[in-house]
Structure 1
Amino acid sequence: MANTPLPPNPLLGRRTVLKGLLGASALAAVPGLAACGSGGSAGDGKTVGFGSNYSDAVPREGIAGVLDTFKQQNGLEVKINTKDHETYQQQINNYLQGKPDDVWSWFAGYRMRFFASKGLAGDLTELWKTIGDNFTPAQKEAATGSDGKQYFVPFYSYPWAVFYRPSIWKQRGYTVPKTFDELIALGTKMRSDGIVPMAVGQKNGWPQLGTFDQLNLRTNGYDFHVSLMAGKEDWQGKKVRDVFDNWKRMLPLYQENPLGREWQEAAQTIQQGKGGMMIVGSQQIGQQMKNELNDLDFFAFPEINPTYGTDTVEAPIDGFMLAKKPGNEDGARKLLTYLASPAAQLAYLKTDPVTIAASGKADTSGYNELQKKCVKFVAEAKHITQFLDRDTDPRFANDAAINGINAFLTNPNDVNTVLKGMADQAKNIFTG
């Protein structure tokens, strides 16, 4: 890893690995960092501190209800310390080096491993002996640090795919494309019909990272994608150039001025029937279209290379971690055990019906049709990825990936400059 952190990107959004992961030196000038932690529990054995980034109204209500039930069942108070998404992620490094809450919300994959490797998370390996049968081997892998120990409890997941409104498609006679060529042809037809083929909002910085993932997975397959994210492949090589060549074919389908539009605005284009498709997560678009869930559907990003087909699904996992030195360790472990249960996860989904429980034991009979399809979609995947900003070094996602992709969207004919910049930064980060 490089010794000097890269400068923060002004376009970072709620799911991007923010500058909080880059090290304390990158955070020194940010005001209010010390205020993020509540100092864990009261230390009386009766209270558990809970650090939360569930700041939007719907998820905040959902997690509060889950924790209320835990209190009723266990006789323990839960002191909730909620911060908005961006503040939480900006302050996370100092928060964990100070006096963090006993249990704190975070993400599977590289983000989890990053703090585990820094000694800033509690070991949950013993807990997994109790809760492990709730989860699949792939989920356990996503909860496992570089040292082979578990540090994470999965709570919910949601797939990324191509979302659309069936009622609009039925009116127009559109059918789901099975190949990339069919996707381009469909988008071209939508444009001639006066519909925005692909709703896009990139002002937040992170959304188009997901489109890169889809294109790379379909063009080059899971193994190459994982290797590229680990800094083991050449960003200037033919395989990456092929991804951007395919992407250039999609750009005529894009909503105008994507860099000036937030993803929520793009989702509203679908909601209003003005847009035909959007590459996004079920959680994001579902929360924007909670009143239209019965008229929201999706399909896997179509096949590009028959060798790989559509065998990989991107499905980020959100969950919880344990403080390195919790004030109430016994209570914290009881809370994490509860959060791993189907009951807790299903209770949360009552107010957030656009994600799916991580536990494989969760009863899906009460799921809406969108959730049922999400479960099947993820279960049938040969491979599951998290998301670019969760699957690679945070400094690369923060600077090289976002700036490179934004530069490409601004001037797609200057791919050579874009890829050279990304390759140079990858070399510095992964071998420096």
Structure 2
Amino acid sequence: MTISFITDQITPVTKSFIKQVVDCWNSNQSNRSVNLIFIDHEELRDSLESYLTRVSPPDVLTWFSGNRMKSFMERELMIKTESIKGIEKFYELLQPRFQKMFDEGDARYFVPTSYFWWAIYYCPSIFRQVGIDTPINNWQELTVAAEKLRSSGIVPFSLGSRYRCPAVAWFDYLNMRLNGPDFHQQLMDLKIPYTDERIKTVFSFFRKLQDNGWFLGKANSYDEEEAVEAVLSGKAGMTLIGSYVQDEYVPSDCIEKLDFFRFPIINEHVAVGEDTPIDGFFAAGRSNNPRDAGDFLLYLGSRDVQALATKLITALPTRSDIDIRNLKGDLAKGREIIDHADNLFQFYDLDTPWEIADVGMSFINDFASYEVDESIVQHRIEDARLRFLGCFD
């Protein structure tokens, strides 16, 4: 019986990796082969629920862990992995962080296979050209770097938020660096109103950067790939982006041109939080082929597949039985950023309920594009929060 598998890993590097994984399965499982279906990430993100609520949904899907998953779990739109033979051994071999994150009572629904980091990427050659010293650790050092870039006719940052995520990453990091990860966690858990003065401080800080000419063009007029191109071409000095940049947006002959550093410290009196989304796979609750889907999930989380991922794509493994002492440069440096964090998050749209995240991402992006002011953003997201909590219809 065929297993249908939807993934958003569509760039040449990630597509090659996932095809190798599926081809290996198919060569050994001719009586239950996998039909691999590629779709765009934005389409998957926005249409995920519609896929899962079909009478005959895809059997296995790529996604991230996070609060959005909880809604699917509660409505039984995901299969409990406890029914998969051998899954307990998989969970026992997870690194402690993932064992803790993926316990949901006795029911687990998600097979975490890799994770990555967010950081500020730049071209060392351009930094040397304008006299910027690295590493950049704090906001004062970043401000000096930004002024040197501007003095040389280079815009400090490209944003590229046509599809919303980069602007929201700036919100995540400014909130964590100004107010601390504990506050950020409470905000994601809807325990703090968006009209709180500390959130106003975040938007005011963000707006000041915009007013000081820190960002290239109108944020929502170009995308992440164009933001990376701006850095590589010298139009912009830096961009805040996930480590997937290496696999998705950087030409193979330009990989060595980029380096990265942790988002700098602003308030040294608060702990350090980092966004580090966790990738993985799950089986649809309405799958017509749950047994085979479960076996394929276990294969996707296997040692061989995760070890292959560390060689072919910019991703860190979730298993504890993979030797990571000799990781290639970027992976080792990215893991160091994560290891030195006090608190780890996923990302705005994964850490807070989707009903709030969808509204928040749109208005934060509008703010980053100078289309609304902070008061409107705060009140519109707060309205969504209150509506979600049932405070008014």
On whether the aligned pair clears a TM of 0.5, the verdict is yes
Equivalent residue of 2:299, what SS? helix
Change (3 A) 1:169 1:148: farther
Question: What is the Cα deviation at residue 319 of structure 1?
Answer: 0.7
Amino acid at match of 1:224: F
- Structure-2 separation of matches of 1:108 and 1:173: 41
CA contact (8 A) 2:167 2:368 kept: no
SS in 2 for 1:155: strand
TM-score (norm 1): 0.82
- Opposite residue 221 of structure 1, the aligned amino acid is G
1:306-355 per-residue CA deviation (whole Å, 9 max, x = no partner) reads 1225x222111111002225444333232222211231023245443x22
What's the CA shift for 1:131? 0.2
Q: 1:327 to 1:308 in 2, by over 3 A?
A: same
Mean alpha-carbon deviation: is it higher for 196-205 or for 88-97? 88-97
Aligned-pair distance for 1:144? 4.2
Q: CA RMSD in A?
A: 2.3
> Equivalent residue for 1:410?
370
Equivalent of residue 350 in structure 2, options 366, 374, 390: 390
Distance 1:407 1:246, change over 3 A: closer
Aligned twin of 2:263? 301
1:119 has 2:76 as partner: yes
Q: Residue type matched to 2:278 in 1?
A: I
**8 Å Cα contact 1:134-1:341 kept in structure 2:** no
Provide the C-alpha distance between the structure 2 equivalents of 1:272 and 1:134, rounded to a whole number of angstroms. Answer: 43
Aligned 1:12-411 pairs, distance under 5 A? 42=1, 47-75=2-30, 76-97=32-53, 98-125=55-82, 127=84, 128-145=87-104, 149-175=107-133, 176-251=135-210, 252=212, 253-284=214-245, 286-289=247-250, 290-309=252-271, 311-352=272-313, 354-364=314-324, 367-407=327-367, 409-410=369-370
Please state how far the C-alpha of 1:285 moved relative to its aligned partner.
Answer: 5.0
Distance 1:81 1:112, change over 3 A: same
> Does the C-alpha gap of structure 1 residues 48 and 425 become closer, same or farther in structure 2, counting only changes over 3 Å?
closer
> Using a 3 Å threshold, how does the CA distance of structure 1 residues 291 and 143 change in structure 2: closer, same or farther?
farther
Q: Determine helix, strand or coil for the equivalent of 1:162.
A: strand
Q: Percent identity?
A: 27
Distance 1:285 1:424 in 2: 38
Q: What is the DSSP-based 3-state SS (H/G/I as helix, E as strand, rest coil) of the residue aligned with 1:320?
A: strand
Distance 1:103 1:411 in 2: 39
Are the equivalent residues in 2 in contact too, given 1:51–1:100 (CA < 8 A)?
no
Contact 1:134 1:340 in 2 (8 A): no
**Cα distance change of structure 1 residues 90 and 388 upon mapping to structure 2, 3 Å threshold:** closer
Distance change in 2, residues 1:60/1:91 (3 Å): same
Q: How many residues align?
A: 383
- CA offset at residue 363 of structure 1? 3.1
CA contact under 8 A between 2:232 and 2:257: conserved in structure 1?
A: no
**Hey, what's the Cα distance between the residues in 2 that align with 1:177 and 1:350?**
28
Give SS of 2:43's match: helix
Q: 1:143 to 1:51 in 2, by over 3 A?
A: farther
Give the letter aligned to residue 121 of structure 1.
M
SS in 1 for 2:62: strand
Matched letter for residue 59 of structure 2: D
Matches of 1:287 and 1:405 in 2, distance apart?
A: 22
How far apart are the structure 2 equivalents of 1:194 and 1:349? 38
Cα deviation digits, residues 225-264 of structure 1 (max 9, x gap): 1110121102111211221222233222111222211121
